[in-house]
Amino acid sequence: FLTVIFYYTARDVANMAQWLELTEPELAIELNTRLLAGIGKGVSDGQVQQALAVWQRIAARLADFHNRYDVILTPTVATPPLASDALDPNILERWLMRGLLATGLADKLFCNRLLDAIITKAVQQTPFTPLANITGQPAMSVPLYCCDNGLPHGAQFMSAEGNDRLLLQLAAQLDALCQGDFNSRASA
């Protein structure tokens, strides 16, 4: 998944710079995006084609799955919900990211243990959602429960390619059910 993300982020940042007639360092983009683009410069065309072939095999297997089942239900994330800034890089991580970009070494990360650690951390948090990105299936995350700190727990629903309507119908039904549940809790 990330092989493709890195590769296309590098391509898109380069295209953006060209369209805006700026250099890449002059672009007003987040540090995380700059690092993804820098790493992506180390991904070869062959590596991305190999990753895309895996994506196609996964999509075919899920299409077979959807011949039997209308919807896949997974958690949105694999951990309790985090605050919106919980995954922001800390001061040391920002310093390291800037150093890798300034020295031109970010592209060397693609086959590096440091990158493996970053990927492992990301996958531990969100192992379920990339499946919809890889396969192109419609998916939605619906906050169906709130924990004690008020942060919502999401449930992800995926349906077969082209079956967006089913998810929208399901969303409407869940919204009607949850509104009744929230209203009864509020009046208690």
Q: What is the DSSP string of 25-83?
A: GGS---HHHHHHHHHHTT--HHHHHHHHHHHHHHHHHHHHHTTT-SEEEEESSSSS---
Neighbours of 152 (CB within 10 A): 14
The whole-number pLDDT of residue 110 equals 61
**Averaged over 42-55, what is the pLDDT?**
93
105 Cβ contact list (under 8 Å, min separation 6): 99
- CA-CA distance, 147 to 154, in Å (whole number)? 11
- CA-CA distance, 3 to 116, in Å (whole number)? 12
Residue 88 DSSP label: S
- 90-98 long-range contacts, Cβ below 8 Å, gap at least 24? 94/31, 97/31, 97/32, 97/34, 97/35, 98/31
- The residue among 17 and 115 whose pLDDT is bigger is 17
43 Cβ contact list (under 8 Å, min separation 6): 3, 6, 7, 10, 110
Among candidate residues 66, 55, 65, the one with its CA nearest the CA of residue 166: 66
**Averaged over 50-59, what is the pLDDT?**
94
The whole-number pLDDT of residue 49 equals 96
* Exposed / middle / buried, residue 47 (Cβ in 10 Å: 0-12, 13-18, 19+): middle
The whole-number pLDDT of residue 108 equals 74
pLDDT of 47 strictly over 50: yes
8-12, 36-40, 73-77, 94-98 — which one is most confidently predicted on average?
A: 8-12
| Single pTM value for the model | 0.73
pLDDT of 186 strictly over 60: no
Q: What is the largest CA-CA distance in the chain?
A: 60
- Percent of the chain topping pLDDT 70: 90
For residues 138 and 62, is the Cβ–Cβ distance under 8 A? Answer: no
pLDDT of 183 strictly over 60: no
**Averaged over 147-173, what is the pLDDT?**
90
As a whole number, the mean pLDDT across the chain is: 85
- CA-CA distance, 19 to 50, in Å (whole number)? 29
For residues 173 and 181, is the Cβ–Cβ distance under 8 A? Answer: no
